[in-house]
Structure 1
Amino acid sequence: MGEHEARGWIRSDETAKQMLSRVLGDRAFLLLPPLHRVPLRAGNVVEITGSSPTAKTQILIQAAITCILPKTWNGVHYGGLEKLVLFLDLDCRFDVLRLSDMLKNRLLEAYRIGNGAWWQLEESNVKTQDKSKIVYDEELYVSCMKRFLYLRCYDSLELLSTLKTLHYRIRLQEACGSQVGVLMIDSIGAFHWTDRLSSSLALDKNNRKSLSLTNVVETIVQEMKKLMQVHSLVVIATKATIYEEKYPTNENNRNISSHSDLFGNPSSKAQQPPFREFMPSSWQAFVTHKIFIRKSDDHHKSLGQQNLSAYLLEWLQPQLSSIDRFIVDDVSKLSHLQVLL
């Protein structure tokens, strides 16, 4: 190696100020319940597994709102991260109106808490039927929605092409002052069965080279790794199960169940998850955190005496001894998650 090449190799890529800004900006953060048990940091890949429906997309939306909200705004504390969210919708069922309604609800709740007595006085002067018309901060709402980038993919090749262009999209957002925080993938296994049924996915008509199911997933993982090397982000992906172990989901029955079934040896439990794994090994090795959600036999009654479905959330990796029980409530058509202690 010549002197010129050696100097080029040891030349710094960033200043000390840039390094400190990057390192201090990559601190671990906590999301709202039920994802509050384990702090997440850049480089983590979280897989949320459960049958349909088990509120997986709802959890993604709530986590996304926490990311796009600012920490404070005009003296009101919102507790957000003020980061850009990249949302890849693979099952094409995402409801942007639900995101909008939940965001407005969070804005109103934070504003009500921040203004205390004034809000109670103002709310008492508003008729019950007009409470839904209470104005939220429109400027803050628009600012948050601009930090939510939604992309829809219809097959694996479109997903690959989208991942290859994400770096350019992120650069455009960063030029506008938004820093990327989370990459969300709704239903990572959406194309698994169509790809498996196909003998191969031809790259083009004049190229005999083809992509097998394993190669497709490996390429997707490699593209994500390249993206994570350049940008400090957390990946959160949902996955539907094809088979689950048949054991009681009722809380009382679970306590009667054998200790090894629920809180057994971490290594044995990691080897035998309560569902059949169908994703290739390249994806499984890529995942750093695993969450399993199932429906509970118990139901919760809301203030209106309406029976609401309850769910159980369990951390498989890292394995935690506690299991969170939560419901998806619906108040004035504004859905939110609530952890039942």
Structure 2
Amino acid sequence: MAANLGKSALADVHQEGLDQLLSELADYYPGSDHDVYSLGIPVLDSLLEVFAPKTSQDRSRRASDQDQLRDYQAAAYEEMLMQVETEDDNSHGPNVMHAQDDTGPVDALFPEPDESQKRPIPILEVSSCLSSSGKSQLLYYLTAIAILPRAYGGIPVGGHEAAVVFIDTDDRFDAERLRVVARRIMQEHMAILSSISEEQSAGLPTDCDMDALIVSSLRHVHVFRPQSSIALLATLHSLGPYLFDLSRHQSASRPLQMISIDSITAFIWQDRLRDEVARTEEIGRSREEVDSEREQKRRFCLPILYDELAKQLKQLQSQFHCAIVYTSVVSGGRPAADQDEPQSRFSTLKPALPAPWGKLPTLRLIVHRSTVRPFPPSMTPNAAAKDAPSRQSVVHQGKISAWVNEWDRDGWPRRIVEAVEASNGGSFSFFVRETGVEFSDPAD
């Protein structure tokens, strides 16, 4: 009987990859840092909670495994009782296991996950219809929060003490600007502490200490600069070996918080041109031959390429449990007409990339810099001079409006629509200044 049970149990064994095994082990431990994933910006985290609410772990397969184990233990227990009864008529001897006492093994092998709920790790898209709209600045802010330490000498700093992969397809990554943004975040936390307690303010780091800490944190930003979409795909494929090769970087002790791409649409026009040329060359050829060459990757095909990019990003996210944040520029979009009105009422942007990019992000945002009204053609020079200070104040304020991209809103569940409406219509603002990026209105 035991041999038959063993064969039956062995038949139910299934193979798993190392990535899947590590992912499930992380799920079994409720103390994992990923139980509640946070980007570090409260308003963004609130919106992510709307589109990807915390849910208890999917335990369907685990429950099946538990049922199989219980069945096996019950059968083994029954066989053991039969053997014991044969050997000894005294069924109350010290070697007999009572059914009511057999409660440990299942719980020990398959511990129930903590009921504290877990939020899926997000994929965030930040789009605009114009360049210089604040997308990169938002990425710098998220990167700074990720790499800064959680505390300095017991004093909270506000960081996640993690690593970031920054893929700079636009070739405009500015390390000095990132340093400025990180310094501003630390200064804000220091100012809050100094206003609360004089005792705590006495232990705050000096400017030299702060600069040294920021420079040390910047070492955990790994910048890649692919020059084409094919190079971008190759970069994504190489990230795993690179990050696991501890001789190539100094982030071995840190988790990977985020993979950011600025921007994902950098090569879309040249890719569309290549795709048009490839389709022209396919004229007059059989569909079977064309499909065969595409499958063997002997011919350029834009949908297949961007599908591969999406799949590789998802694989990296599953492997490293990191957020994916990317920017995109969507041509032909229409910004909000009035910056004082709820932005979601006036503009949406259709995804610039082919499927599955329209459904890939957890949350899709639009950002737009406050515009300066043009001078009317009939305005006199004196009137323009008088109105100039008010226009300059708009520029110096550096206000960036952001709102949820409501493209394909008709397919949203009612719960999401109502939650977005309750969250200020899914809109918020931040400010880009020479001294950094701020998420608080100076007028407050």
TM-score normalised to the size of structure 1? 0.76
The alpha-carbon deviation at position 178 of structure 1 amounts to 1.2
Partner-residue secondary structure (3-state), 1:248? coil
Amino acid at match of 2:438: L
Q: Does 1:324 align with 2:428?
A: yes
Change (3 A) 1:111 1:192: same
Point out the structure with max Rg over C-alpha. Answer: 2
Q: Does 1:277 align with 2:361?
A: no
The alpha-carbon deviation at position 200 of structure 1 amounts to 4.3
The alpha-carbon deviation at position 191 of structure 1 amounts to 0.4
The alpha-carbon deviation at position 25 of structure 1 amounts to 2.0
Is the Cα–Cα contact under 8 Å of residues 367 and 403 in structure 2 kept in the other structure? yes
Runs of 5+ consecutive residues of structure 2 not aligned to the other structure: 1-6, 50-118, 280-295, 374-388, 407-415
Partner-residue secondary structure (3-state), 1:237? strand
Is the Cα–Cα contact under 8 Å of residues 292 and 314 in structure 1 kept in the other structure? yes
Amino acid at match of 2:213: L
Counterpart in the other structure of 2:253: 177
Measured in 2, the distance between the counterparts of 1:226 and 1:122 equals 43
The alpha-carbon deviation at position 229 of structure 1 amounts to 2.1
Counterpart in the other structure of 1:67: 146
Calculate percent identity across the aligned residue pairs: 19
Q: Whose helix fraction is larger, Structure 1's or Structure 2's?
A: 2
Amino acid at match of 2:345: L
Amino acid at match of 2:238: T
Is the Cα–Cα contact under 8 Å of residues 45 and 286 in structure 1 kept in the other structure? yes
Is the Cα–Cα contact under 8 Å of residues 249 and 294 in structure 1 kept in the other structure? no
Counterpart in the other structure of 1:47: 125
**Aligned 1:239-318 pairs, distance under 5 A:** 239-245=328-334, 247-251=336-340, 254=341, 262=345, 274-297=348-371, 307-316=396-405
Amino acid at match of 1:224: L
**RMSD between superposed Cα atoms in Å:** 3.8
Counterpart in the other structure of 1:236: 325
Amino acid at match of 2:189: A
The alpha-carbon deviation at position 138 of structure 1 amounts to 4.8
Counterpart in the other structure of 2:269: 193
Is the Cα–Cα contact under 8 Å of residues 30 and 39 in structure 1 kept in the other structure? no
Amino acid at match of 2:368: R
Change (3 A) 1:138 1:329: closer
Runs of 5+ consecutive residues of structure 1 not aligned to the other structure: 124-132, 202-206, 264-272
Q: Whose strand fraction is larger, Structure 1's or Structure 2's?
A: 1
The alpha-carbon deviation at position 223 of structure 1 amounts to 1.0
The alpha-carbon deviation at position 82 of structure 1 amounts to 1.4
Match of 1:29 among 23, 38, 42: 38
Amino acid at match of 2:126: I
The alpha-carbon deviation at position 137 of structure 1 amounts to 3.3
Counterpart in the other structure of 2:380: none
Question: Which structure has the higher relative contact order (CA within 8 Å, separation 6+)?
Answer: 1
Q: Encode CA deviations 1:152-173: one digit per residue, 9 max, x unaligned.
A: 1110111011000111222236
Partner-residue secondary structure (3-state), 2:46? coil
Q: Does 1:78 align with 2:154?
A: no
Partner-residue secondary structure (3-state), 1:184? strand
The alpha-carbon deviation at position 61 of structure 1 amounts to 0.3
The alpha-carbon deviation at position 32 of structure 1 amounts to 2.4
Is the Cα–Cα contact under 8 Å of residues 242 and 276 in structure 1 kept in the other structure? no
Change (3 A) 1:39 1:73: farther
Q: Encode CA deviations 1:58-96: one digit per residue, 9 max, x unaligned.
A: 000001111111222211111211121111111111111
**Aligned residues, how many?**
308
Q: Encode CA deviations 1:197-248: one digit per residue, 9 max, x unaligned.
A: 11349xxxxx871231111101111111221221101101111120122651
